[in-house]
Structure 1
């Protein structure tokens, strides 16, 4: 935190997180107030997700050719304009499913610009020996906001409507854009044309076995987690537990685990970074298995807490390994290839689960999702390169 650039980066992330935590609830009620139902909300969510898949490679390519601080500025500015326009139309009573979807598409495009640039920006700002602590500190405010933000968003939406929450989200993006522009990070040196850089990026991605196997395993793991926890979790909670109340407790337990995992990463610096990332990500199977088996709520809460702890440790360990083992000038493209794989899991997981739910009970599908998470972890641990991507001690000061 003595690094002025890192303080600016953390401040931008914290400010933006306060708005982003309220946005999903505000977006849902904007659709409802516009007369839409589940189909309309699904369309809006899809238009937000699709550009993050389609344009992420372009964002990664640009992040390896342009100043990453400029990329972060433009991405946050575009998100501010999209959310601001949505807030104005909602406040004026002119919002429709189509207009909300257009704003969602622009927000998703903004995400495709900022995600690859942010990965490389941290490695430019922070010395190599401080990367893990920096990654943990970056996640700390976001995880804390995840616990309180939805509650605050619910109060704001209930008291004054979704427009005010959306306006706050737009303002936080604008402030973050200004802060990030002040980083003034140097642009990586581009040595070839766009097509050549893209081919070189794919060659670099495929040549790193640990990178593409982790991405493949992550695609399966994320699909199983989202399908089981986000899609089937509320349905099983409504039928087997006390509905929304218990589901809220389970989500709160998971969020508390994320926060606890961040605190662990501030103190624990494992040597086998990638191995730790793979193993701890397997904790996501626990709440799926306990809910699928119909175990008591207390057991599910403990499982959700452990899953959150494991996931945050996995994210910090993986990010640190990536930043230490991928050269700076390739990090945008490598991050984009990894991100595309994991984002493809979102529609894939929901589609497969929807089809499976017609043939199997929800509890059976939950157990199957837990099995997929465990299988992805075990298969990834069979890759020899996983044990070679370790902390680069020689870089320590």
Structure 2
């Protein structure tokens, strides 16, 4: 393990600085990509149906291959996986950029590229979550996790705005091309980490199914882990359905439309960034309990919009929710890195992430059915209640309250 002094700042580690720089570079492209992709689909004559197909093509491989990615993250060099995965994602985005620039983009062709990008993410996600514990000392994991969130959250504030300007001035191909370049640069930076594989000593490895079974046994044996994953599945489903799907519709009907929705999104992003700095200053001992309580704050903006409160109240609720969400992510990441052996980290992260991935279509489907019977405001209140109830139930789990900083 490449770690420094227990009391030293993570930034004193050259390897950690390299990893942090890779995250920053990649985030600048990733923040612009959704805007560019949406307008690329529109330019080639597609609508909501075409965009939905392309997005689904990106999501399905992640669901199918995520557990395989977790096994590989525990078998081979995580830096090699990140290098190859970022190269693959960059190649896919470059192909889309070329198709859009030459006017030959079709829904089918863009879906193939999206599928390749989703497959790459299935392998890089578990690997990336197991890198930080290899780069810094155990006592510096929380500040390291918080520092990684700084560039991601900062770019979330400005990235969509910059992406919108790039798309409007130069076209979506340029924004997609920049995303491809950032993937390539990040790949080269990550290749320099040269992390060894996390497999068992002596080279004795079980088959894929056996390792998945072992990972599942480890996941199931940790009550704090599977209970948080179960609760998180409900929270993510309710949050995405309420915020991403219904939020713009309610903003259009009850507030000032796109302008108000942009302010709400900006407030949430600002809250995320504020939460990052909270984590740099505050080091709670009960990591899992803090993660549960702070993530439950997501119910606030949904409840505020559902009740039709004034926009200032919604903005305040969004800031608090964003700050709480980022504190939860950092606390959760730190708990995983401290409580789970490195050789199992990839698989257990994959099992946990699978619940979040399954929540996305689940939430959208439930809202699609419910919208035929209830108004958007009523569904937002139900979603906020689900988030709050899931948080309270998870906080009552004794194992969750027992997990402390090591």
Q: What TM-score bracket applies, with the shorter chain setting the length?
A: over 0.9
1:168-224 CA distance string (max 9 Å, x none) = 000000000000010000101244222211110000000111111100000000000
User: Which residue in 1 is equivalent to 2:185?
Assistant: 175
Secondary structure of the corresponding residue to residue 344 of structure 1: helix
User: Which residue in 2 is equivalent to 1:229?
Assistant: 243
Name which of 89, 93, 98 aligns with 1:88: 98
- Please show how residues 231-246 of structure 1 align to structure 2 within 5 Å: 231-246=245-260
**Structure 2 Cα separation of the partners of residues 112 and 273 of structure 1:** 27
User: Which residue in 2 is equivalent to 1:383?
Assistant: 397
Shift of 1:388: 1.2
User: Which residue in 1 is equivalent to 2:145?
Assistant: 135
User: Which residue in 1 is equivalent to 2:376?
Assistant: 362
Q: TM-score, normalised by structure 1?
A: 0.98
Shift of 1:51: 1.1
User: Which residue in 2 is equivalent to 1:336?
Assistant: 350
**Structure 1 Cα separation of the partners of residues 87 and 219 of structure 2:** 30
Name which of 274, 284, 288 aligns with 1:270: 284
**Structure 2 Cα separation of the partners of residues 297 and 68 of structure 1:** 45
1:7-45 CA distance string (max 9 Å, x none) = 000000000000000000000011001110011111111
**Structure 1 Cα separation of the partners of residues 124 and 198 of structure 2:** 16
**Structure 2 Cα separation of the partners of residues 274 and 52 of structure 1:** 26
Name which of 128, 143, 162 aligns with 1:118: 128
- Please show how residues 180-259 of structure 1 align to structure 2 within 5 Å: 180-190=190-200, 191-259=205-273
- Structure 1 gaps, min length 5: 393-397
- Answer yes or no: is 1:294 the counterpart of 2:304: no
Secondary structure of the corresponding residue to residue 155 of structure 1: helix
**Structure 1 Cα separation of the partners of residues 277 and 139 of structure 2:** 18
User: Which residue in 1 is equivalent to 2:168?
Assistant: 158
- Answer yes or no: is 1:78 the counterpart of 2:88: yes
| Range with bigger deviation, 42-51 or 253-262 | 42-51
- Structure 2 gaps, min length 5: 1-10
Aligned length: 392
- Answer yes or no: is 1:67 the counterpart of 2:77: yes
Name which of 318, 336, 339 aligns with 2:332: 318
Shift of 1:389: 1.1
Indicate the RMSD between aligned Cα atoms, in angstroms. 0.6
